């Protein structure tokens, strides 16, 4: 019998496994349903999800198998986890690695095995999705469904990070309610945390500037941008209804889903896929009747094309030339979470080199001055144009211009704005 091979960077792999906090936890339907489906597709008596620890393999989900763990040295999954492709053994008695394995020569007397490694959120192999039979399968199998179900299990691992973030935020909220003094201190810490999530400014062929000014200690606005690939830049800004802790919790959760690309089945280079995925993940009836607006775009640098879509969000403003006309990127669609069956669509536009794109929240234009006049998007465009010739820090100048226009420094709603020079 050949022992399971060693895995490079075993220490990092074990750290990721421990971070999942799944070992020795009760069964969960989201994992059990995967192994049931695997067993039904391949018509095998045994299917399971194995987490490969330092000295053992432990079964997070299993059907047709009584034992809950085995030593790693004799584990079949210890071999499957070491390779990137499925391990299929049609007849274990004919395979020199396994013919004298206790799992073959003794109960449960396995004759067939197939397993696919499972990667954690950062790409380390943490376990396997496996199936086995007490009869051989000499014709082999089509591994396609096995690989698809393994991918589904990996998406569940990624969601653990999002669930963990939500749990931590809820614990912070409960702690804040103890005393008013502690509440204020914790609110200040939370506001600093939200600001710490904002992206670093870009300074290169694509340059960026941004500001977030909350109208209360905690607001519902958050934004970011990140490279999905060498030539694909994702840009997003969301605005949760309301203010305070509840709005901030939902804002951080939604923001984390975008930043970590943690929505199962969603292609983050596809704007329509992202908007529809966010709408499915954050229904308002599961989030204290809160919804949010979202602007999401992907700039394809190679073909200089911007694909974008807005869910109830104000239109982005685009100047192809600093002193040229403004193009209003309209995309009138429902807010995220309002209608689970709504299907979102995207728009596309060619971008000239050096064009300036402004994405903002409604706090940047829903302003009144002392004479009762409303600013509106047209007024915001005028303030942006007034600062078009400034060489740097244009967003700060725009914010100061809006404060001057309304005659006070405090905003009624959160002020958020991103400027991207494309």
Query: Which CATH number characterizes residue 261's domain?
Result: 3.60.40.10
Of 125, 155, 185, which one is at a domain's C-terminal end? 155
Residue 228 tokens read as 């999905």
CA distance 228 to 51: 29
In this structure, the answer to whether residues 96 and 29 fall within a common structural domain is: yes
Is residue 279 within 8 Å of residue 250, measured between CB atoms?
no
In this structure, the answer to whether residues 262 and 367 fall within a common structural domain is: yes
pLDDT lower than 70: segments of the chain: 161-170, 172-192, 216-219, 244-245
The answer to whether position 188 is within a domain reads no
The answer to whether position 192 is within a domain reads no
pLDDT of amino acid 88: 96
CA distance 205 to 177: 46
pLDDT of amino acid 333: 93
Whole-structure pTM value:
0.58
23 contacts: CB under 8 Å, gap ≥ 6:
17, 51, 53, 58
Instruction: Cite the DSSP H helix spans in 243-351.
Output: 245-259, 271-281
Give the length of the chain.
422
In this structure, the answer to whether residues 258 and 397 fall within a common structural domain is: yes
In this structure, the answer to whether residues 381 and 302 fall within a common structural domain is: yes
pLDDT of amino acid 398: 95
Of 90, 124, 155, which one is at a domain's C-terminal end? 155
413 phi/psi in degrees, rounded to 5: -125, 170
The answer to whether position 170 is within a domain reads no
User: Parallel, antiparallel, or unpaired for β 221-229 and 46-52?
Assistant: unpaired
Cis peptide leading into 411, omega within 30 of 0? no
In this structure, the answer to whether residues 294 and 391 fall within a common structural domain is: yes
Q: How many Cα atoms are found within 13 Å in the side-chain-facing hemisphere of 420?
A: 27
The answer to whether position 322 is within a domain reads yes
In this structure, the answer to whether residues 287 and 364 fall within a common structural domain is: yes
The answer to whether position 265 is within a domain reads yes
Cα–Cα distance list, 326 to 135, 298, 355, 380, 415 (Å): 70, 20, 10, 11, 21
Chain segment 38-92, per-residue pLDDT in tens: 999 999 999 999 999 999 999 999 999 989 998 988 889 889 999 999 999 999 9
pLDDT of amino acid 161: 63
Chain segment 258-299, per-residue pLDDT in tens: 988 988 899 999 999 999 999 999 999 988 888 999 999 999
Instruction: Cite the DSSP H helix spans in 177-265.
Output: 180-196, 245-259
The answer to whether position 327 is within a domain reads yes
Chain segment 165-186, per-residue pLDDT in tens: 666 666 766 665 555 666 556 5
pLDDT of amino acid 172: 65
In this structure, the answer to whether residues 85 and 206 fall within a common structural domain is: no
In this structure, the answer to whether residues 369 and 267 fall within a common structural domain is: yes
In this structure, the answer to whether residues 136 and 208 fall within a common structural domain is: no
Domain that holds residue 408: 198-421
For the four alpha carbons of 140, 144, 150 and 152, in that order, the dihedral sign comes to: negative
Provide the Cα torsion 260, 263, 266, 267; round to 10°.
0
pLDDT of amino acid 167: 62
Paired with 359 in beta bridges are 418
The answer to whether position 315 is within a domain reads yes
The answer to whether position 401 is within a domain reads yes
pLDDT of amino acid 232: 96
407 phi-psi bin (left φ>0, alpha ψ -120 to 50, beta other): left
CATH number of the domain that residue 73 is part of: 3.30.450.40
Q: Classify residue 109 by burial, with Cβ atoms within 10 Å: 0-12, 13-18, 19+.
A: exposed
Paired with 350 in beta bridges are 305
In this structure, the answer to whether residues 128 and 214 fall within a common structural domain is: no
Number of domains in the chain: 2
In this structure, the answer to whether residues 249 and 397 fall within a common structural domain is: yes
In this structure, the answer to whether residues 258 and 402 fall within a common structural domain is: yes
Provide the Cα torsion 52, 131, 123, 70; round to 10°.
0
């Amino acid at each position: 019998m050949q022992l399971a091979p060693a895995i490079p960077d075993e220490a990092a792999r074990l750290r990721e496994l421990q971070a999942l906090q799944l070992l020795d936890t009760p069964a969960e339907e989201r994992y059990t349903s995967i192994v049931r489906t695997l067993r039904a597709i391949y018509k095998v008596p045994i299917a399971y999800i194995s987490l490969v620890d330092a000295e053992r393999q432990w079964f997070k989900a299993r059907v047709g198998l009584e034992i809950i763990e085995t030593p790693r040295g004799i584990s079949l999954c210890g071999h499957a986890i070491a390779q990137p492709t499925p391990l299929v053994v049609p007849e274990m008695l004919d395979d020199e690695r396994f013919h004298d394995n206790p799992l073959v020569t003794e109960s449960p007397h396995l004759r067939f095995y197939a397993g696919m490694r499972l990667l954690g959120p950062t790409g380390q192999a943490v376990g396997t999705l496996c199936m086995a039979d007490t009869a051989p399968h000499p014709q082999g199998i089509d591994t396609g469904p096995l690989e698809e179900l393994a991918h589904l299990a990996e998406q569940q691992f990624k969601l653990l990070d999002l669930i963990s973030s939500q749990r931590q935020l809820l614990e912070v909220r409960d702690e804040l309610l103890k005393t008013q003094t502690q509440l204020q201190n914790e609110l200040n810490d939370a506001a600093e945390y939200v600001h710490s999530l904002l992206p670093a400014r870009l300074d290169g062929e694509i340059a960026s500037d941004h500001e977030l000014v909350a109208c209360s200690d905690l607001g519902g606005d958050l934004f970011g941008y990140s490279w999905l690939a060498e030539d694909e830049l994702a840009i997003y800004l969301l605005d949760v209804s309301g203010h305070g802790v509840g709005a901030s919790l939902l804002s951080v959760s939604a923001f984390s889903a975008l930043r970590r690309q943690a929505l199962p089945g969603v292609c983050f280079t596809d704007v329509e896929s992202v908007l529809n995925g966010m709408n499915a993940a954050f229904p308002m009836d599961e989030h204290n009747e809160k919804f949010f607006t979202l602007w999401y775009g992907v700039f394809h640098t190679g073909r200089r094309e911007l694909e974008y879509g807005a869910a109830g969000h104000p239109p982005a403003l685009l100047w192809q030339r600093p002193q040229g006309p403004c193009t209003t990127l309209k995309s009138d669609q429902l807010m995220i979470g309002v209608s689970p069956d709504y299907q979102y669509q995207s728009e596309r536009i060619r971008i000239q080199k050096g064009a300036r794109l402004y994405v903002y929240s409604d706090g940047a234009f829903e302003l009144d001055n002392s004479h009762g006049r409303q600013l509106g998007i047209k007024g915001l465009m005028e303030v942006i144009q007034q600062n078009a010739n400034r060489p740097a820090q244009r967003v700060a100048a725009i914010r100061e211009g809006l404060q001057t226009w309304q005659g006070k420094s405090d905003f009624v709603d959160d002020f958020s704005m991103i400027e991207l020079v494309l």
